[in-house]
């Protein structure tokens, strides 16, 4: 029963983030959305992500993201916000995210699954030719893995870990 409660909470957070992504952006500029495939980064293996621009200034853009990943023994749903700086082809990016994941999720035996939460801070570099829809990212993603339970968040064996992330994406 505990796993079902945690799973319901994760789904609730996921759907609230979808509403946030579909809400019109705060600036008057034309909306920019896109998709990208990321290896590592906010998730342990890979993820397919949708992002949408929610704020735009002269040298700063803010994007919200939501994604998903399924591998042999687990699932993950990264959500977060990325802040892109600069103009031209080269951009530093800071990403703040949360990734609910399960490394032992089984539809047929949910009580054996363990839901975890990675809190991620990404420091990335993006190459994007001006006025092109294609881009490439590379970055370092320190993360803190938490083990939430129904009553509290377990801090047992909590420590910072690092992942390298590489991504390729397109605006549409």
Residues 6+ apart with CB under 8 A from 106: 112, 113
pLDDT digits (tens, 9 = 90+) for 68-120: 998 887 889 999 999 999 988 999 999 999 999 887 765 555 555 577 889 99
- Give the C-alpha separation, 164 to 172, whole Å: 26
CATH number of the domain residue 155 falls in: 2.40.160.20
Residues recorded for the chain: 172
- 91/11: higher pLDDT: 91
Tens of pLDDT, residue by residue over 28-40, are: 444 589 999 999 9
Range of the domain at 164: 2-171
Q: Among candidates 86, 64, 160, 154, which has minimal Cα distance to 119?
A: 160
Predicted pLDDT at 9: 64
How many distinct structural domains can be found in the chain?
Answer: 1
At residue 51, does pLDDT exceed 90? yes
Per-residue pLDDT tens for 114-141?
Answer: 778 899 999 999 998 866 789 999 999 9
Residues 6+ apart with CB under 8 A from 1: none
Cβ distance 32 to 54 under 8 Å?
A: no
């Amino acid at each position: 029963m505990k796993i079902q409660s945690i799973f319901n909470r994760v789904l609730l957070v996921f759907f609230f983030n979808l509403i946030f992504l579909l809400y019109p952006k705060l600036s008057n500029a034309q909306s920019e959305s896109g998709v990208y495939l990321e290896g590592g980064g906010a998730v342990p293996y890979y993820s397919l992500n949708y992002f949408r621009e929610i704020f735009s200034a002269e040298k700063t853009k803010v994007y919200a993201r939501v994604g998903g990943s399924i591998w042999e023994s687990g699932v993950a749903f990264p959500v977060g916000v990325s802040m892109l700086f600069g103009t031209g082809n080269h951009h530093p990016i800071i990403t703040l995210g949360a990734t609910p994941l399960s490394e032992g999720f089984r539809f047929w035996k949910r009580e054996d699954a363990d839901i975890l939460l990675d809190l991620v801070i990404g420091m990335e570099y993006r190459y994007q030719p001006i006025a092109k829809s294609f881009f490439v990212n590379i970055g370092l993603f320190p993360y803190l893995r938490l083990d939430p339970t129904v009553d509290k968040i377990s801090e047992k064996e909590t420590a910072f870990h690092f992942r390298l992330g590489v991504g390729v994406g397109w605006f549409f």
